[in-house]
Amino acid sequence: MSNINNLLNALQGVKKTGTNKWVARCCAHEDKSPSLAIKELDDGRILLHCFAGCDVASIVSAIGFELQDLFPERLEIKKGERRPFDAYQVMECLRDESLIVLLAASDMCANGFISVDDAIRVQQAHERIAAAYDLARGK
């Protein structure tokens, strides 16, 4: 079963609102009507947004998930193996990683802090952006 099916099965009051879009009752707070927006992107990533202000880490924790469950499995690359990436793929990665930074900044503005897990993910985003820069420079 895919991550989105596992997630939807763990939530209550799920209603489909469009292609790869749903709403449900947020499990991180007492929710009487759907306030949680869910969207599955074409690449398998899952986006969550609680209109009551719950952070993503609290939402996934409340149903026994982890943040990594919102992302598709990564392919393992053997040590020493290199795969060439074209400019579009590098820019796509930069776009995705900048979204992570934006979401963390948004949580920081709204709540005054981000969770340790989110801070670790922002650090990973920084490392990926730096790696893309090094790749572009030919390092």
Mean pLDDT of 27-35: 91
* pLDDT tens-digit series, residues 95-106: 888 888 888 888
**Chain segment 36-57, per-residue pLDDT in tens:** 999 998 888 899 999 999 989 8
The DSSP code sequence of 38-93 is EEE-TTS-EEEEETT---HHHHHHHTT--GGGGSPPPPP--TT------HHHHHHH
**Rounded to an integer, what distance in angstroms lies between the CA atom of residue 137 and that of residue 94?**
15
Per-residue pLDDT band for 28 (boundaries 50, 70, 90) equals very high
Per-residue pLDDT for 84 more than 80? no
